[in-house]
Amino acid sequence: MIRKVTENDLINCLEVFHKGYETVAVEFGLTEDNCPDRGRASLPFDKLLKEYEDGTDMYCYEINSKIVAFLGMNYTDNKYKLDDIIVLLEYRGKGIGNELLKFCKDKANKGGVKEIHLGMIDDNTRLKNWYEKNGFENVELVNYDGAPFTVGYMKCILR
């Protein structure tokens, strides 16, 4: 079940961030020195709370009252920026990410928004292929000084 995150949920959502992004941090060699918060795998609570307070749309996916996935997105300039889709490792491959992405697209469509944008590790081909399969296309590649990866920016035009 997908539902809106409350402030009381944030500590459990943070656990999803840490566990869910840890696999990416390890796979791509993210450290505090080469990537802030290890690509969100070590995101501090105060940063997540600030995002919540600043109006990031946050949703969680629950199974038996346990938060197993997270969706975060922001509306700006008549488009959504997809900040996070995180699914705990043991729940991956069960369609939860697909449900969260569909939820994001449906929310955008209902609001009259025609584009969803995101940034990701471009070398994460498994994830990049998944986004492409779901209607996203590459729009830009950026190499930031000191970053151990190339950032791929993608967008999806909604119909």
Report pTM: 0.94
- Over the stretch 119-154, which tens digit does the pLDDT of each residue have? 999 999 999 999 999 999 999 999 988 888 999 999
pLDDT tens over the chain, length 159 residues: 999 999 999 999 999 999 999 999 999 999 998 898 999 999 999 999 999 999 999 999 999 999 999 999 999 888 899 999 999 999 999 999 999 999 999 999 998 999 999 999 999 999 999 999 999 999 999 998 888 899 999 999 998
Q: Domain-by-domain residue ranges, the chain? A: 2-157
CATH topology of domain 2-157: Aminopeptidase (3.40.630)
SS (H, E, C) the chain: CEEECCHHHHHHHHHHHHHHHHHHHHHCCCCCCCCCHHHHCCCCHHHHHHHHHCCCEEEEEEECCEEEEEEEEEEECCEEEEEEEEECHHHCCCCHHHHHHHHHHHHHHHCCCCEEEEEEECCCHHHHHHHHHCCEEEEEEEECCCCCCEEEEEEEECC
